[in-house]
Amino acid sequence: MRSKLSKVHSYAWMCAEAPFVIVVCGNKDDLSWIEDCSAAAENMLVAAAEIGLGGCWIAARGTKYSGRDDGQVIADILGIPKTSGVLCMLSFGYPDEEKAPRTQYTEDKVHWEKYKS
Ligand SMILES: Cc1cc2nc3c(=O)[nH]c(=O)nc-3n(C[C@H](O)[C@H](O)[C@H](O)COP(=O)(O)O)c2cc1C
C-alpha cells in the first residue's frame, strides 16, 4: 500500500520507504473539515518531532500533480468513501539528517492594530 501511495505523484516518493504513512481525511459535510484536518496533521508532525521522528506533509487536497485530483486518487486506492475529503498524507520515519533550526519570521509581515499595505 505504501508503495502504491508513493506513486500517486512525484512528491510522494518517500512513502515507499517510510515505516508508516497516515492519510488524513475528514467528513466533507463538516464545515471545518479542512481546518480540523490541518490542525491534526500539524499536531502529528510536531508530536513526531518531539519523540525524535521525522515527518513530511504530502500534498493531496487541491493539487493535481498526478494529472487527476490527488485526494481522489488516494481515496480510490484506499477505498475512502465520497463523503470524506483527503487533506494530505504524512510520511513518518527516523530522520537521516538533522537540520539546524531556522525561522521564516519577518517583522514587516506583522501588522499592529491595523493592516498596513
Ligand atoms: C500544504 C503543504 C503541502 C506539501 N506537500 C508536499 C509534498 O507533496 N511533498 C513533499 O515532499 N513535501 C511537501 N510539503 C512539505 C514542504 O515541502 C516542507 O518540507 C515543509 O512544509 C517544511 O517546510 P520548512 O522546512 O520550510 O519549514 C508540503 C507542505 C505543505 C504545508
Domains contained in the chain, CATH given: 2-95 (3.40.109.10)
Q: What is the pLDDT along the chain (117 residues), one digit of tens a residue?
A: 999 999 999 999 999 999 999 999 999 999 999 999 999 999 999 999 999 999 999 999 999 999 999 999 999 999 999 999 999 999 999 999 988 989 999 999 999 999 988
- For residues 117 and 87, the answer to whether their CB atoms sit within 8 Å is no
Going from the Cα of 113 to the center of ligand 1, the distance in angstroms, rounded, reads 31
pTM of the model: 0.94
With CA atoms as reference, report the closest residue to 70 among 30, 113, 15, 31.
15
Host H or E run for residue 35: helix 33-50
What is the structure's pLDDT at 30?
98
* pLDDT of res. 117: 82
- If you measure from the C-alpha of residue 2 to the centroid of ligand 1, how many angstroms do you get, rounded to a whole number? 19
pLDDT of residue 116: 87
- Which residues form ligand 1's pocket by a CB distance below 6 Å? 11, 56-59
